[in-house]
């Protein structure tokens, strides 16, 4: 074993035992719930689940697919938890104290959403690739110059048109 490696990082555990247990328990639960082989057939369901689990871990590709899916699921669950936690802070029912208006809640939600996307980009290490794509290409300078002018013109038009609407 390499120095600093824990028992949870051991390839035997992460590539064979955990995927086997996952498939074994899922198949066993499905067999118990559906009662395909009849009532009170726990031993038969366990044996069939055991064999399916062993067949599953004996082939590398399905094990890698399930491992990647489980990793994606755990990251997605944590991301959803963070979003819901922040959502509760913004849109939660406040009994006393400052109560944000509707437009404030929407503004906070947009800011938090953008902040969450930026946090995920930094956490995954994709920032350098995105920055290189957006700002390090041969077309980047002219694109961002034109984009800035279009945004400035759009803001100026919006301000002018909103003033005309208020006067009418």
Question: 147-156, pLDDT tens digit by residue?
Answer: 999 999 999 9
Domain count for the chain: 3
Measured distance CA(45)–CA(37) in Å, rounded: 8
Distance CA 163, CA 168 (A): 9
Query: What domain range is 158 assigned to?
Result: 141-168
Looking at the domain assignment, is residue 147 inside a domain?
Answer: yes
Contact 37, 45 (CB under 8 A): yes
pLDDT of the residue at 1: 47
Mean pLDDT per 10-residue interval, the chain, length 168 residues: 73 87 94 91 94 91 85 86 80 65 78 82 83 87 92 92 70
Other Cβ atoms closer than 10 A to 87: 15
Same domain for 130 and 76?
yes
Asked whether residue 158 is domain-assigned, the answer is: yes
Distance CA 92, CA 99 (A): 10
Whether residues 73 and 127 fall in one domain = yes
- Both 19 and 42 in a single domain? yes
Claim to verify: residue 84 and residue 119 sit in the same structural domain: yes
Residue 19 CA to residue 60 CA, distance in Å, equals 11
H-helix or E-strand spanning residue 60: helix 60-91
pLDDT of residue 98: 63
pTM above threshold 0.85: no
């Amino acid at each position: 074993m390499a120095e600093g490696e824990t028992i949870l990082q051991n390839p035997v555990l992460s590539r064979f035992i955990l995927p086997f247990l996952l498939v074994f328990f899922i198949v066993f639960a499905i067999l118990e719930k559906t009662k395909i082989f009849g009532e009170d057939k726990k031993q038969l369901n366990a044996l069939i689940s055991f064999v399916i689990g062993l067949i599953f871990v004996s082939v590398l590709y399905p094990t890698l697919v399930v491992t990647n899916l489980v990793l994606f699921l755990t990251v997605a669950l944590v991301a959803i938890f963070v979003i819901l936690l922040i959502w509760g802070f913004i849109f939660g029912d406040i009994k006393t104290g400052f109560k944000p208006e509707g437009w404030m809640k929407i503004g906070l939600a947009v800011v938090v959403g953008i902040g969450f996307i930026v946090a995920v980009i930094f956490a995954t290490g994709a920032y350098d690739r995105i920055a290189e794509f957006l700002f390090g290409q041969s077309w980047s300078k002219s694109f961002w110059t034109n984009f800035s002018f279009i945004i400035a013109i759009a803001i100026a038009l919006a301000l002018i048109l909103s003033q005309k609407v208020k006067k009418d």
